Amino acid sequence: MAGDRFLTTAEAAKRLDVKPETIYAYVSRGLLTSVRSGARRGSLFAQDDVDRLAERGREGRAPSGAIERIRTAITLLEDDELYYRGHRAVELARTESAESVAHLLWTGALGPASFAAPPALVSVARSAIAALPASTELTDRIRVAVAAVGAADPLRYDLAPDAVVRRAGSLLAVLVEALSGVADGSLAERLWPALARRPGADPDGAALLDLLLVLLADHDLAVSTLAVRVAASARANPYAAVSAGLGAIDGQYHGAASALAYRFLTDAVDDPVRALSEQLRSGARVPGFGHRVYRHRDPRAVLLLDVLRERDAPILATVDAIVGGLVGRPGLFPNVDLALAAALHEFDLHPDVGEAVFALARTVGWIAHALEEYAEPGLRFRPEGVYVGPRP
C-alpha cells in the first residue's frame, strides 16, 4: 500500500456520485476492492480503481458487473493487420523465434529466451498422458498434461509477474518434451518429431512450426482468451487459466476450425470446383474462408500461403482453384485455418495437429492476458443476467 492513494467510503461515493451503500454493492459485485487500514476504522479504496470506474460512467456506461471493453496493450487488429505490442506479427514470424515473441508478449520486450523443462514435471506430464487411450488426440493430451503439471506445482499460486513468466516458459517446455521426448533445441525443434508421421520427415518442418507458433500466439480477445481473462480475474493460477482457454477452443468455431478446413481440402483435391459447388449448394459456410474481424485479407494466411508457395506446394493448386471459384464474393478470402490446413497437407501431418499447434501457440497469448488481468481488480467480470424464467 505504500505510495498508493486511497479513498474512504465517503470519498469514493462522492467521486462516483453514488450513495455509500452503492459502494458496498460494487464491492460485492467485484467492481471495487476494499482494504483495511490499521490506522483508521472503515474500508479504503484505491483511487486508481475508483477513477477507472468513474471513467466508465462518464463514457455512458453505468457501473455494473458487465465489462464492455477490456483495456489491453498486447495485440492490435487494425486495417487487416495484426500487431503484437506494436510489432507486425508477420514480420516477427519471419525474423524472430517463438520464444523471443513469447518474451515480447509477456514482458513487452523482444529478447533471447530459452525454456527449460523441470524433469520432475516432465515425468508427471508423461505419466498423465500415458494413462490415456492410444487414440487420444493431441489437444486432449495437452489438456490432461496441463492439469497434471498444475496439480504437481506447489507454487502455482504465486501470481507475481516474474513467477508467472518463469512458470509459463517451464509449462511450454514440459508440454513439448512430454509429447516428443526431445529435450534439446528450440520449442519448434523439440516439438516437430512428435508431429511428423515419419521419422526424419521434412527438415523444413521445424521452421514452419516456429512460424506458426508466432502467427497463432495471440489474436486479441478471442473467445478462449476471454475465458482466460475471466479465470484470471478470479485469481485462478496460470495453469488453471490456460485450462480455461483449452476448454474454450474445444469446438468447431475456434480451435477445431483448421480440422474442418483440412477435411474440405481433402475432399477438394481431386475436383476443387465440384467440392466447392457441393459446399455452396448445402448452404453451409465454406471452411477456411472469411473472418469476423478482417475485411479483405487475413495477414497470417497471406504469409503462410506465401511460404508454401516458395516450396511449390502441390496443395496450392487446390487452394487456388477454390479461391478462383469464389472470386466476386465479398469477404470470402482464405483465412489462417485454410492456410494451416494447407500446411498440414504439404507436410503430411495428421489433421488433429492443427488444433494442437493452435493450443500450444495460443498458450503464449493466454499467459500474456492472464498477466494483464492479474494487475486488474479481482472478480471484475460480473454481468447481470436478464431473467426470463417463471416468476415465483
Which residue's C-alpha cell is 459446399?
279
Q: How many residues does the chain have?
A: 392
> What would the grid cell of residue 368 be?
500474456
- Gap between the Cα atoms of 341 and 332, Å rounded: 16
109: alpha, beta or left, given left = phi > 0 and alpha = psi -120 to 50?
Answer: beta
Overall CATH class of domain 6-58: mainly alpha
pLDDT at 45: 87
Report CA 210 to chain centroid distance, whole Å: 16
Across residues 301-329, what is the average pLDDT? 97
Q: How confident is the model at residue 1 (pLDDT cuts 50, 70, 90)?
A: very low
Residue 65: pLDDT above 50?
no
Of 140, 210, 298, 337, which residue is the catalytic one?
A: 337
Write out pLDDT tens, residues 354-368.
Answer: 999 999 999 999 999
261 within 8 A of 374, measured Cβ to Cβ = no
pLDDT at 4: 66
Where do the H-state alpha helices sit in 42-82? 47-58
**Crossing angle of the two packed helices 353-374 and 257-268, in degrees rounded to 10:** 160
Residue 62: pLDDT above 60?
no
Q: What is the DSSP string of 197-236?
A: SSTT--TTHHHHHHHHHHHTS--SS-HHHHHHHHHHHTT-
> What would the grid cell of residue 20 be?
455509500
The pTM (predicted TM-score) of the whole model is 0.83
- Whether 348 is catalytic: no
Largest Cα–Cα distance in the chain? 78
Write out pLDDT tens, residues 16-47.
Answer: 888 888 888 788 777 888 887 655 567 888 88
153 or 1: which carries more pLDDT confidence?
A: 153
Instruction: Report which of 243, 265, 261 is spatially closest to residue 252, judged by C-alpha positions.
Output: 261
What strands lie across the sheet with 75-78, from one edge to the other? 75-78, 81-84, 87-88
Of 103, 219, 291, 345, which residue is the catalytic one?
A: 291
- Whether 291 is catalytic: yes
Across residues 120-143, what is the average pLDDT? 97
Beta strand 87-88 pairing with 43-46 = unpaired
Which residue's C-alpha cell is 481473462?
229
Report CA 336 to chain centroid distance, whole Å: 14
Cα angle vertex 148, ends 147, 149, to 5°? 95
83 within 8 A of 101, measured Cβ to Cβ = no
Question: What b/e readout covers 197-234, taking b as 16+ CB neighbours within 10 angstroms?
Answer: eeeeebeebbebbbbbbbbbbbbbbbebbbbbbbbbbe
Delimit the domains of the chain by residue range.
Answer: 6-58
What strands lie across the sheet with 34-36, from one edge to the other? 6-8, 43-46, 34-36
**Crossing angle of the two packed helices 353-374 and 238-248, in degrees rounded to 10:** 130
